[in-house]
Amino acid sequence: MNPLSLLPSVDRLLSAATVSSLIDLHGRAIVTGVVREVLGAAREAVKQGGAMPSEDALITRVGAGVTAKTTPKLRPVFNLTGTVLHTNLGRAPLPEEAVQALIAAARSPCALEYDIASGGRGDRDSVVDELLCELTGAEAATVVNNNAAAVFLLLNTLAQKKEVIVSRGELIEIGGAFRVPDIMSRAGAKLVEVGTTNRTHLRDFAENLGPRTAMLMKVHASNYAIHGFTHAVPEAELAALAHQNNLPFVVDLGSGTLSDLSAYGLPHEPTPREAIAAGADLVTFSGDKLLGGPQAGLLVGRRDLIARIKKNPLKRALRVGKLTLAALEAVLALYRDPDRLHLRVTAVRQLTRPEVEIRAAAERLLPTLKNALAGLPVTAEIVALKSQIGSGSLPVDRLPSAGFSIRPQGRKGGVLNRIEAALRALPKPVIGRIEDGALLLDLRCLEPDEETAFAAALAGLEVGRC
Ligand SMILES: *Cc1c(COP(=O)(O)O)cnc(C)c1O
């Protein structure tokens, strides 16, 4: 007799009690597909001489297959990496005001390009442009998909087939994919690098001006710093040189916070207002770095230049949707009250969270962690940590923080990888980092109202055997 005929039929598996409850949850189509896959794989395995699986084993595989297919890919996680604006984890978490605005805009039609006062057609930039001007001192503003798009659109509009003069020390790469020279050539502009890596002077710019020069550009070297014998030309001097030659001076600020975060003990990061006050004609910055909003690229500056940028057909290809604008408007509105930013803008709150508060959270949670790890050959303790701001903002500065260090008791580190994998396998994955032979969980970004959920998650931790 052919052993394959002993495998249950598709219909038989579909009528098993656990499988039919999966159908109720997820629908017949998905479950039937998984049942076929499981039976197909079992048939192959048996043909290769494997043992005949029991019906219960097949049903378990169907359950696992359906779970794998129906779990959303974009899952919320606990960011305990110690990097607040973690690009791979979606950068800034949005404040509640922005979440509510986003939901409202998602759920119903909204006045995206409709002027409610006149009943006529509107402009989607008008959702935020007044706020952006108020907060930066600029004449006009526009919004695109991200700061890379903002820089690209600016160059393509104002410097196509022309030259852009940039200091050699500012030809940066951000996150592997954004390189100033590459963006420049894709935008159709010719890069003229001047000065040296560590020192660039005003005369380097002046000597390279020519009939094809479109603009002078400054790129904020967000993610690295050079120390020692260095010189960069101040923005006001570059602006003056550009204006003497009837050229615009543009600044890619990268992060761009709208309020001086040094008031909260963070290092000073240049603001768009400062760049505009120094004479910049256009400034670009990200929505989801220090600003703490949704992914977006913000362009602010001279009215005539913004008008030209908005007329570029590529603006249409790079524009943002209503969800972004809804969240951005809500976050910008919070900046009108700078005294309470550190309470209301989630990213700012996490960046300014005092170390003592983080340590107190660690003390509350340590017993739960120790319970979860009981029986494993590791020691867990509270340690002082240094968090990073992330996303290339303020690269050399570290924020004093606290969290857990989990170390193997013996020499073998394999147990750390198992714990790290178990933390990632939780329904809301916990993402830490392994450094110098220890698994570190930095508690800076664990919001106080998430502590209970985090403790419950730890209680469910199941560390696999090696
Ligand atoms: C981050 C950054 C960019 C890219 O911004 P995205 O919003 O990630 O597209 C460009 N320039 C500088 C200086 C940056 O720091």
pLDDT score recorded for residue 222: 63
pLDDT band, very low/low/confident/very high, at 388 (cuts 50, 70, 90)? very high
Cβ of residue 156 lying under 6 Å from some atom of ligand 1? no
The model's pTM: 0.93
- Using the predicted structure, report yes or no on whether residue 393 has a pLDDT greater than 70: no
218 closest CA partner among 280, 302, 130, 152 = 280
C-alpha of residue 285 to centroid of ligand 1, in Å: 7
78-88+350-459 belongs to CATH 3.40.50.300: no
pLDDT band, very low/low/confident/very high, at 137 (cuts 50, 70, 90)? very high
At residue 275, the 3 state secondary structure works out as helix
In the chain, % of residues over pLDDT 70: 96
CB 167 within 8 A of CB 204: yes
Q: What is the arithmetic mean of pLDDT over 43-57?
A: 93
pLDDT score recorded for residue 260: 84
| Token output for 287 | 């929505």
At residue 91, the 3 state secondary structure works out as coil
CB 158 within 8 A of CB 215: yes
pLDDT band, very low/low/confident/very high, at 396 (cuts 50, 70, 90)? low
Q: What is the arithmetic mean of pLDDT over 298-322?
A: 98
pLDDT score recorded for residue 176: 62
pLDDT band, very low/low/confident/very high, at 381 (cuts 50, 70, 90)? very high
Cβ of residue 392 lying under 6 Å from some atom of ligand 1? yes
At residue 87, the 3 state secondary structure works out as helix
Cβ of residue 297 lying under 6 Å from some atom of ligand 1? yes
463 closest CA partner among 417, 403, 408 = 417
Return phi, psi of residue 299, to 5°. Answer: -120, 125
Three-state secondary structure readout of 167-187: EHHHCCEECCCEEHHHHHHHC
**In ligand 1, which atom is closest to the CA atom of 253?**
13
Return phi, psi of residue 40, to 5°. Answer: -60, -45
CB 404 within 8 A of CB 447: no
- Residue 466 CB: number of other CB atoms within 10 A? 8
Q: What DSSP element (H or E) covers 249?
A: strand 249-254
Q: What is the arithmetic mean of pLDDT over 11-24?
A: 96
**In ligand 1, which atom is closest to the CA atom of 255?**
15
Cβ of residue 148 lying under 6 Å from some atom of ligand 1? yes
Q: What is the arithmetic mean of pLDDT over 307-312?
A: 98
pLDDT score recorded for residue 196: 83
Domains of the chain by residue range: 3-70, 78-88+350-459, 96-344
The fold of 96-344 is Aspartate Aminotransferase; domain 2 (3.40.640)
pLDDT score recorded for residue 257: 87
- Using the predicted structure, report yes or no on whether residue 428 has a pLDDT greater than 90: yes
Calpha distance 244→453 (Å, rounded): 60
